[in-house]
Amino acid sequence: MLTTIWTVTSILLIRAAQCATIVPLTAPSYASQPLLDSFVSFSIEFSSFPDFAGNSTHPNTFSYNLLQNLWDLQGTPPIIRVGGNTQDYYTFDATQQEALVGSVDPSRSPDYPTTISIGPSYFDSYTTWPGFSYVHGLNLGKNGTVGYDTLVATVPLVCQHLAATNRLAYWQLGNEPDLFETSTQGPVRPSWWAEPQYVEEYLNKTRIIRGLVQEHCPEVIEQDRLKYQAPSFAGTANNLDLVTTWNEGIDADSEIALIDSHNYINGATAPGVTLQGTLMNHTSTVISVDKHIDEIRQPAIADSGLPYILGETNSLYNQGAPGLSDSFGAALWGVDFNLYCAASGIRRVHMHQGTNYRYASWQPIDTNLATTATKAPYYGNIAVATFLGNTSASDNVRISELDLDSEPYHSAYAAYINDRLERIALVQMQAYNSTDGGQGGDRPSETFTLQLDGDFSTVQEIEILRLTASGSNAVTDVSFDGYSYSHDLDDGRPSLLPDVPRGEVVQVTSGGEVVVDLPWSSAAVLILKRSS
């Protein structure tokens, strides 16, 4: 069990605010556009999906419970994108009894199979989570006869198992084609393959898909549900440019619903990557996300009127690094990253998952490398969903970043519902190791002073929901508002811990100030309580 890690007497206030942070009570002009519903969503590696979902005979109820928790918080279920690198490796075998047969080549990737065959039973995994919808990744990487045969064989199964049962959110063709020429798993396109060639191939194959859909599930076309997340690029500054691709006419058939890009802050084995300098660092997050914001502002993208999303993202590419991506510090990074995305114009975020992946929010099954467990990053997902609240169409949720100083180790955000301030998020990212307290020192803390700007007369008090662990390097014993989502306690359902403080409130002063202390390496969601 998690022991109490902060008390009023044990907090050392090391940094008093120089001036109060202004928090407008009415949404400012720079607040984001309304978020899409299901803002907190997931991407699951194609080869891992049967592990995460199970099948109709043995559904993975642990995964379902964790996803249901988020649905309860944000009012709409996370949308599950099934894709990633392995979506461009699979072929289809109609006679294969197994859902997926894969072969791992450690020289190409030690984390997932790079030779994959799926059978019809793969699609049975889509039946296990009632009420959830999916983005099914179709293979673009395979060329020639095998690629064509796989496409022609799998589209009717998407129709049968997803479109016909209202489980299909969007279609997707290919994963990160901007890396097809240089993939570390082996190039699948020649060096001269550029935006015109990609767009031509994309349109040719989506038109084949349209013909198959017309044949097997024509209601999808009749109901205007043949819509794509595209182009699913790895990010900015790769071999294909998103803006150039758009100008080349990738949406000539008006079938793209969401402009989809991917993001990773850095690489798992990149030199100089650290928890404090890379993940628990607001400046690092701003630099990474702002590359996407630059794309959003380009005329070709802005004039399309289409939402821009991150269809795949997480902390460190190559499936994360142990001690970094699976730590509580990564959970804090996830809160800051998602909320900065929300405040900056990215309308939905799919956090990528995979079996045995170091950055995953949960390990879905027991393997020879890991046991079934809820991991620290999941608690960041819970905190984000709690702060954003109900993002369904009934609420108009807009986010703004609050102006702190230039210190890279903290951030703050405001959530507006129908333009009225409802919640504030505070993230303190100064690294504090769980072993530091054993050296006789108190855990340092930062004081945030917030000045409510506007008519605060009805705001009586502020409820504080804390995201805590024993330190930024902790990989277990994490809680949010006193709750654990451990697999061992109640199979991922919220379990109230008896020894973690919760139910904390602070008063608003007569001058409209709110003062909150955050221990290093922690975060909090503040909920305004009004008299009317």
DSSP states of 425-468: EEEE-----TTGGGGTPPEEEEEEEEEEES--TTEEEEEEEEEE
Q: How far, in Å, are 228, 431, 441, 469, 472 from residue 435 at the CA level?
A: 48, 12, 10, 12, 10
Strands 134-138 and 115-118: unpaired
160, burial (CB in 10 Å: exposed 0-12, middle 13-18, buried 19+): middle
Residue type, 476: T
Indicate if the alpha-carbon torsion angle 99, 105, 110, 114 is positive or negative.
negative
Residue 80 token pair: 């599950």
Is 195 an active-site residue?
yes
Question: What distance in Å separates the CA atoms of residue 43 and residue 246, rounded to the nearest whole number?
Answer: 24
Mention every residue, 6+ apart, whose C-beta is less than 8 A from residue 218.
none
Q: How far, in Å, are 228, 249, 423, 458 from residue 203 at the CA level?
A: 12, 9, 44, 56
- Helices marked H in 124-226 — which ranges? 144-161, 195-216, 218-222
User: Cis bond leading into 231, ω under 30°?
Assistant: yes
* Cα first-last separation, the chain: 39
Q: How far, in Å, are 46, 115, 146, 154, 314 from residue 89 at the CA level?
A: 9, 6, 11, 14, 21
Residues in the chain: 532
**Taking Cα atoms as reference points, which of 190, 193, 291 lies closest to residue 243?**
291
Cβ–Cβ under 8 Å, residues 238 and 180: no
- DSSP β-bridge partners for residue 115: 103
Which one is catalytic: 176, 255, 295, 312? Answer: 312
Buried b / exposed e across 286-298, counting CB within 10 Å, b at 16+? bebbeebeebbeb
Cβ–Cβ under 8 Å, residues 66 and 376: no
Cβ–Cβ under 8 Å, residues 412 and 25: no
Which one is catalytic: 195, 255, 401, 422? Answer: 195
Is 255 an active-site residue?
no
Could you give the residue numbers annotated as active site? 195, 312
